[in-house]
Amino acid sequence: MKKHSARVAPLSSYSTQVLTCPISEGEDGSESHAETPGSETSEESRSYQTCTHTALKVLGGLLLVLCVSSSWVGTTQVVKLTFQSFSCPFFISWFSSNWNILFFPIYYSGLVVTTREKQTPIQKFRECSKLFGEDGMTLKLFVKRTAPFSILWTLTNYLYLMALKKLTATDVSALYCCHKAFVFLLSWIVLKDRFMGVRIVAAIMAITGIVMMAYADGFHGDSFVGVALAVGSASTSALYKVLFKMFLGSANLGEVAHFLSTMGFFNLIFISCVPLILYFTKVEHLGSLSSLPWGYLCGLAGLWLVFNILVHVGVVLTYPILISIGTLLSVPGNAAVDVLKHEVIFSVVRLAATCIICLGFLLLLLPEEWDSVTLRFLATIADKKTEEHGEELTDSSVHTRSRSRANGTVSIPLA
């Protein structure tokens, strides 16, 4: 009996451990199983929402690309049509810039529709005027901050319109794309941005395209002057963007809308004297108010305003690179209109110059970490190929062993 009791005691103790431990493990396991489906469902719903948001953002960006490209092509072509009956580029630039006043009212209307804004327009305008300082907008700050940007804006538009009088819409839109290279060079020099070799190559390609475009008809005549005007427009646009990034880089959409409307007011108040001077000096012949092509002028100004709204709003709502792609797509868009409607025949040199400029523009769109991202991508592809090759070798060895067993041979593994 002592022997039997000695043998029974450990069994009873072991059985209690076995009985108690599985019960606790079963309870924990049931709890974990009860929690796991909920967590998996939440993760799946979260990932689904993320994918849906990304897909909607990409689709909205693609739609925005088409709208940006269409509005810019429409603006350029309407300018060409306007010049057939009304050749006053500075008046057109001044008239179109005045429409920037509508930028803040359009922004506030959209804000009321989407978020049910409770602030009055005056309150919202004062809130956004903190862009000029804690005390808001004063007359001194209004002139000091707005004057340089308004002058650069007017010069950019005026030089662009003057270039359209000398060159085709395709050539001017392609040369205007060089502003991306000028922005990089100025940002590297002034803002001390990161140096990137690929962007230096892109800038060299842009300069090469400019030289080829000027050489297409020889370094004389309207062609050379038109190229110089288009490059001047791209340069002033680049300077405007770099200064905007320097002084107003952290501005939100409301502050940007406020600033552009302020520029419109500055243009209306202070630059209105320039068209009058050009009229009385007979540099630009306006004629009577009734003889002006108001349909073309209003259509041009409306398209220009839509383009600026899409550019500034699109940067906030979607990816900024898509806005740049939309600007680039205006080149083939203008080329299609020039060939189909105006029956323009492009020379080989002009086509090559346009392609080089567009390729340089695409290189400038590469992100700063593009080299490391590319190397990681190539390493991932190499790892996948290695894994697939290893799986193929394993499958082939298993297939070989099964064939050997079927033939009656037995492979003896080494110890």
pLDDT per residue as tens, the chain (415 positions): 344 444 434 433 333 333 333 333 444 444 444 445 555 566 666 776 777 777 777 787 788 889 999 999 999 999 999 998 888 999 999 999 999 999 999 999 888 888 876 788 888 888 888 777 776 677 888 888 899 999 999 999 999 999 999 999 999 999 999 998 898 888 888 877 777 778 888 888 888 888 888 877 766 677 888 999 999 999 999 999 899 888 877 778 888 899 999 999 999 999 999 999 998 998 888 888 888 999 999 999 999 999 999 988 877 777 778 888 888 999 999 999 999 988 888 888 888 988 999 898 888 888 766 666 677 767 788 777 777 666 666 666 555 555 544 454 444 343 3
- Give the other-Cβ count within 10 Å of 43's Cβ: 10
CB 357 within 8 A of CB 205: yes
Q: How far apart are the first and last CA of the chain?
A: 49
Q: Which residues of 206-221 are buried (b: 16+ CB within 10 A; e: fewer)?
A: bbebbebbbebbeeee
Tokens of 208: 């090469």
From the number of C-beta atoms within 10 Å of its C-beta (0-12, 13-18, 19+), residue 193 rates as middle
Q: Which residue has the tokens 């529709």?
A: 113
What whole-number distance in Å separates Cα of residue 235 and Cα of residue 331? 18
